[in-house]
Amino acid sequence: MFPVELSIVIPLLNEAESLPELTQWIARVLVARGLTYEVLLIDDGSTDDSWGVIEALATGDATLRGIRFNRNYGKSAALNVGFEAARGRVVCTMDADLQDSPEELPELYRMITEDRFDLVSGWKQKRFDPLSKTIPTKLFNGATRWISGIKLHDFNCGLKAYDQRVVKSIEVYGEMHRYIPVIAKWNGFRRIGEKVVQHQERKYGVTKFGLERFVYGFLDLASITFVSRFRRRPMHFFGTLGTLSFFFGMLLTLWLTGEKVWLAYHNLRARNVTDQPLFFLALVAVIVGVQLFLAGFLAEMVQLNGPRRNDYLVRETLN
Ligand code: UDP
Ligand code: MG
């Protein structure tokens, strides 16, 4: 049913030195296990000789496929294109920089096909990266675990394996490659496994991500959480917050008015309403409430006219 058993999708940006070694190593491991496979090298707009190397490697090697972007779009884009092109029963992703070991591939394949996981993520239990990277990564993983409820140690590991159904039904964009397990879970792929994997120091070249990765990472987590829960019903989100804020403001307003009237009735001296901090709180709460409510309406209308209003993931149909 599938042309090959295993597809290996490898996004790469300026990794020319690593490619020959990487592809040979993959071939050695998989041929020894007797697995049929294809390697998809996605050149994400490299400015070094990566594409030349890919062309040279692909001549006379039918297992190698290459896709070249016209410019650098980012790892998520490269993965997305690789996922669309992949033909294997199981699709694995790995980094091109030889930090991930191809020796892990057969076991990942087995976990998908025999243990029937939808997705298996690598866990670089022993990492060979600088502290500036490992400490923020711990925070990132903790936050993602907490919000998504997925018990993975290492969300951003480049080495992962998927059942083909998973990669064909999810879309990865922006910097969302860090959250593929989260996207998968919210699409109903709940069998998510983990495998401890070997990790090496980068052998050639330099890392392609700077510190901005952490800022973008958290923003992406916020939007992914929002989108997956409320994309089809934004009013539930904005409307709830808006209503709460509005009623809070109204309560304060009533209280202020009541107090004023009561004091006047009893001929007591009172501050001006506008001299009280509570007044400003009430004002802000009412205005913010109305704004949120309107945002909800607008989002609902945008959503109503959007092109993908009813795109549900159908697993199977009969007849
Ligand atoms: N990469 C990519 N496009 C980019 C940035 C990175 O395809 O815009 C690739 C990169 O070539 C490597 C993988 O994504 O194969 C992981 O990148 P890197 O090793 O620099 O990240 P790190 O290991 O430092 O987290
Ligand atoms: Mg790396």
pLDDT in tens, 121-179: 999 998 888 887 888 888 889 989 998 899 999 999 999 999 999 999 998 888 889 99
Ligand showing the shortest atom-to-Cα distance for residue 77: 1
- With a cut of 80, say whether residue 202 has pLDDT above it: yes
Residue identifier of the C-alpha nearest atom 24 of ligand 1:
207
Task: Check residue 164 and give its pLDDT.
Answer: 96
If one counts every other C-beta atom within 10 angstroms of the C-beta of residue 174, the result is 15
Q: Which two tokens stand for residue 264?
A: 């006047």
Partnered with residue 119 across adjacent β-strands are 162, 192
Whether 53 contacts 15, CB under 8 Å? no
**Cβ < 6 A, ligand 1 pocket:** 11-13, 15, 44, 72, 74-75, 78, 95-97, 99, 158, 207-209
Q: Is the pLDDT of residue 314 over 80?
A: no
Let me know: does 6 contact 35? Beta carbons within 8 Å. yes
Distances (CA, A) of 149 to 14, 54, 140: 35, 40, 14
User: What's the whole-number mean pLDDT along residues 257-268?
Assistant: 92
Average pLDDT, the chain: 91
pTM, rounded to two decimals: 0.83
**Ligand 1 atom having least distance to the Cα of 42:** 7
Q: Give the residue-averaged pLDDT of 249-265.
A: 94
**pLDDT above 70 (res 311):** no
Query: From CA 271, how far away is CA 286, in angstroms rounded?
Result: 22
Distances (CA, A) of 102 to 50, 231, 248: 20, 38, 58
Percent of the chain with pLDDT over 70: 97
Take residue 210 and report the two structure tokens written for it: 């700077």
Does residue 217 carry a pLDDT above 90? no
Mutation probe of ligand 1 site: the residue of 15, 48, 98, 209 with most atoms within 8 A of C-beta: 209
Which tokens sit at 20?
């020959």
Lowest-confidence region among 40-44, 138-142, 222-226, 293-297: 222-226
Is pLDDT at 289 greater than 80 in this prediction? Answer: yes
